[in-house]
Amino acid sequence: MRLLHTMLRVGNLDASLVFYQAVLGMKLLRQQDYPEGKFTLAFVGYGEESNTTVLELTYNWETERYDLGTGYGHIAIEVEDAYAACDAVHAKGGKVVREAGPMKHGTTVIAFIEDPDGYKIELIQKNTGNDSYSK
């Protein structure tokens, strides 16, 4: 077994594709419209679906916004340098909601950014700290 994808509902597919490609450097792997269902699916990621986990962006044509609720947490992406990644996000017009630095009660260097729909994305600096998920 392996994790295939995580699905996020987005209110503006074009803005989301720009964010995930231009700001986070992902590739658009595939996209398909479903006219009878009035939705579009777009899959983005850092590698092919055959061997990496990807994001499925679901755009329901008649829905411009979603309430994120209190149950959603975040997506985590490993980066070489969280400080440089935040600088790059700023330079590309992205929103950093927690600048890079050690996590509270730990030593792993993390940052948080936000996509156009308000979904949080944690940037975890590779090989920092001794926290279990940073190894």
Identify the active-site residue in 56, 62, 78, 122. Answer: 122
CA distances for 117 relative to 22, 56, 127, 134, angstroms: 16, 14, 30, 27
Could you tell me if 57 and 13 are in contact, meaning their C-beta atoms sit under 8 angstroms apart?
Answer: yes
Catalytic status, residue 99: no
Could you tell me if 21 and 28 are in contact, meaning their C-beta atoms sit under 8 angstroms apart?
Answer: yes
Positions marked catalytic? 122
